[in-house]
Chains A and B, each alone.
Chain A
Amino acid sequence: MDGLGLLGDPTRRAIFELLARRPSTVGELAQQLPITRSAVSQHLRVLKDGGLVVSTAEGTRRIYRLNPDGVTALRAYLDRVWAEALTAFGKAAQATPTDLEQEDQ
């Protein structure tokens, strides 16, 4: 699964965005999301396998953060941008010329 697939899931995207703001533990993420710690862990495993997220042990805590090499995350981010942009374009392109004229007003 590529970056687009990984971030196509709204919960995984939410986790990705939370980690973009701040490296966090599973517990910290679960507090900010309407899902269980175990569900957070499962999503983190997928993100980690996809190369978007890495984890480090600090004492007894495991901290998750975005993959610092940035490359995979950059690509995944732009994947999202284009997926949304092309969807929006598709809608605009299929509007009738009359609709377009009206939008121009």
Chain B
Amino acid sequence: MTSTPTIPPLTGTITVDAPVDQTFRTFTERFGSWWPAEYHIGQADMATAILEPRQGGRWYEQGTDGSECDWGRVLAWEPPHRLVVTWQINGQWQYDPDPAHASEIEVRFTADGPEQTTVELEHRHLDRLVDGQALRDGITGGGGWSSLLELLAKAATNQT
């Protein structure tokens, strides 16, 4: 690739009726209880996903057969207000260990009141993921993109 494409970050916001510390703990300690199980990378079905509660911690899934697949690493652990993790799942829906190919997810938790919290999520540096993979080849020649999208299609079909 001759130039780095600039992909705008993805953002999402949700407001929940829960205290900020509880909301942070739900997001992190209970990550595997709410993450949609169809979005996973292991060969086996996903049993759970785990976000280790410390800077440098692993973020990974456990399959129903006991296997583990990394998703990324915890870059910033600042309970109960801020969390930054890397997302190193590439276009082939596989873990890419090269930090240069890591996109980042920052999650901020703001207390609107004692029982209400706003969660803002930003997924940025998506261009690094693209640089890490020959998405252009994958989408036209099969492989990369198409395997990810086949998985998406399969997930969507199973949702009925």
Contacts and interface: CB of A to CB of B under 8 A. Distances in A.
B62 to A, nearest CB: 16
Given A90-B16, A97-B22, A77 B30 contact: no
A29 interface: no
A82 B36 contact: no
A91 B34 contact: yes
A94 B26 CA distance: 9
Contacts of B36: 81, 84-85, 88
B111 interface: no
B91 interface: yes
A74 B22 contact: no
Contacts, number: 115
28 contacts: A17-B152, A20-B145, A20-B146, A20-B150, A21-B146, A21-B149, A65-B140, A66-B149, A68-B140, A70-B135, A70-B136, A70-B138, A71-B5, A71-B127, A71-B135, A73-B145, A74-B145, A75-B7, A75-B126, A80-B152, A81-B36, A82-B10, A84-B36, A86-B14, A89-B26, A92-B26, A93-B23, A93-B34
B58 interface: no
A68 B127 CA distance: 15
A49 to B, nearest CB: 17
A73 B7 contact: no
Contacts of A97: 22
A73 B91 CA distance: 11
Interface string B125-160: 011011000011011100001101110110010000
B119 interface: yes
A35 interface: no
Contacts of A20: 145-146, 149-150, 152-153
B12 interface: yes
A89 B129 contact: no
Nearest to B134: A70
A40 B102 CA distance: 37
A75 B53 CA distance: 28
